[in-house]
Structure 1
């Protein structure tokens, strides 16, 4: 069935070619002013003769053309089977790019040759398209490894850029430090940020600012001064320090307590809470929220005192237990001197007996040095 259909197609093609050939011959004859074919009848007979001649020729040679096409198809199938899927993809891409380039290059040439003869321009254009498609496929198949590696490099670079953006965003979020009301009022956060030990973004929640405003408007003068001091500290941090600060405008209306809101916000931002509130520190540890306790930091950087060391202090007052005296180091650490009550107001040498370290502070127990 396919063979018969192909024979009919070739016969029709022969008829068309016969017409084109007859038209070309008549054009050439008229161009040279050769009066061989005269009159309408002779011209019509010549057309019919050429059309039938080429139609008959193509009809009889169609079996051979069929065999030739079959061989070409078989060769193409064998060659295609040898190609990998990657080579087929790159070959198709090369054909497409070659056709696009040939379209831009071939259009001017086609116009030039069409001016000479209208039938030559399209033929030149088709030849250029065919040559460009073959060259494009050949180049892309041979250079498939180089093209693949280049595309892979671009892909890796884009993925790395995306990873860097994600890491930078996550780093910014994880470096967020949420300030507690107590640490703002305390004021040491300003000096700590000034030293550069605090990195990342200082997040000041709006509900903390509201609490500071309520404290600064309190009728109690002590609370009012503490609240105003906290607001002054925030202004100094924003104006005098280079550290980034951010006012978080959201709220957790379903939560009533400010401390609980702070912990919720730290979880949301994947950040840490800065505080010196002992109770908030314990609740945060229970909920798995990272906390930076300024009191812990202050205790950690105090000079280490070991049992057996000697030092000189002034006994200021008596202690809770009988015969105890109380003194202080320059950093405010309290020293309990056993038997030091009788030395109140005097400067004596003591020997450290033990050290008690807690989140609330550090206490040193000592006794007067034996003379």
Structure 2
């Protein structure tokens, strides 16, 4: 039904266009010289009927191709719009309007002749596209600017969210559940906007609704941490609605979002860390941060520890420092439950953590 309506509409448009083209042709110098069309007569009317029917027939015949082209353009625009969030659409529209106003003022001198009008229209279209593109890409800076104006104007507010031009930080599921990100943000070491992807929220909700009690507890802990970050911290938090339907895994979506936003991923997932490095996405791994700020232990240092359990190898005992660092004591199995003095023999540092190897002090001296 729609195709028939569109075909009829294009035919009518063709008839109208044909009529006006016929009128324009009658005013040309060539036809005026012939003397046949100087006055309104049968020949003039016949000529107008001919041009009207000709262009109406042409539009009627090519309307199926026009319909297909219009449908493809509409589908392309619809798919492109679906990939954009509401904020991106709003900023794109604002950018296009501002660019149109500027281009209209600057290029108004061209709007005199037919060719000038065509150039004028082309300039406006290009300006609108460029304006929308710039506004979408720089929306973070614009939002930061608007936020800073609001902060200056509202001095009576108790606490305003910190808006910065620093690189946005995208949180993954594991680092939210871990919970240490709240403490790190509280110290002020993290700058910029914290981005919480909608697909990460969906994964957290799925984990929180799991039938497994451990997973359910972890998921609810993650949601509680997010609520604490939003309510108790001064750092700005944004929920990103951007999704990538063609990408199945959440980790891959996370890396793609970081690339699109030109941001960094905050994680404690060792495997995600490696994949991000391979794809050239900057990563802040809080496990690496925790390892970096642990006190330095050198071979030969003495320490007093309590052996907690036996190790993997025969005769080994295992102890832990207050920060969770594992100490493997050679021959320490017989001292389980006792407090002993040990001397550090070596330190193994990995991305997953640090291990200290030691010997019982008396055995070392012998």
Bigger-Rg structure (1/2): 1
Aligned 8 A contact 1:175 1:271 in 2 = yes
Q: Stretches of 4+ moved more than 3 A in 1? A: 165-174
Alignment of 1:29-48 (within 5 A): none
Aligned-partner Cα distance in 1 for 2:214–2:316: 32
Q: What are the superposed Cα offsets for residues 324-360 of structure 1, whole Å, 9 maximum, x if unpaired? A: 1100001110000011111111100000011001111
Aligned 8 A contact 1:216 1:228 in 2 = yes
Tell me the residue number matched to 2:82.
none
Alignment of 1:93-242 (within 5 A): 175-242=167-234
Aligned-partner Cα distance in 1 for 2:241–2:185: 23
Pairwise CA RMSD = 1.9
Tell me if 1:359 matches 2:351: yes
Aligned-partner Cα distance in 1 for 2:250–2:208: 17
Aligned-partner Cα distance in 2 for 1:260–1:174: 23
Q: Any gaps of 5 or more consecutive residues in structure 2?
A: 1-137, 145-163
Aligned-partner Cα distance in 1 for 2:257–2:142: 17
- How high is the TM-score relative to the length of structure 2? 0.55
- How high is the TM-score relative to the length of structure 1? 0.54
Aligned-partner Cα distance in 1 for 2:194–2:280: 20
CA distance 1:187–1:167, change in 2 (3 Å): closer
Q: What are the superposed Cα offsets for residues 293-341 of structure 1, whole Å, 9 maximum, x if unpaired? A: 0100011110000000000000111111111110000111000001111
SS for the counterpart of 2:215 is: helix
Q: Any gaps of 5 or more consecutive residues in structure 1?
A: 1-164
Tell me the residue number matched to 1:285.
277
- Counting matched residue pairs gives 207
Greater helix proportion: 1
Aligned-partner Cα distance in 2 for 1:339–1:368: 7
CA distance 1:170–1:242, change in 2 (3 Å): closer
Tell me if 1:295 matches 2:287: yes
Q: What are the superposed Cα offsets for residues 208-266 of structure 1, whole Å, 9 maximum, x if unpaired? A: 00000000000011111110110010001000000000000110000000000000000
Query: Deviation at 1:166?
Result: 10
Aligned-partner Cα distance in 1 for 2:140–2:221: 37
Tell me the residue number matched to 1:253.
245
Query: Deviation at 1:291?
Result: 0.3
Tell me the residue number matched to 1:265.
257
Aligned-partner Cα distance in 1 for 2:336–2:268: 32
CA distance 1:281–1:196, change in 2 (3 Å): same
Tell me the residue number matched to 2:321.
329
Q: What are the superposed Cα offsets for residues 52-89 of structure 1, whole Å, 9 maximum, x if unpaired? A: xxxxxxxxxxxxxxxxxxxxxxxxxxxxxxxxxxxxxx
Aligned-partner Cα distance in 2 for 1:343–1:249: 56
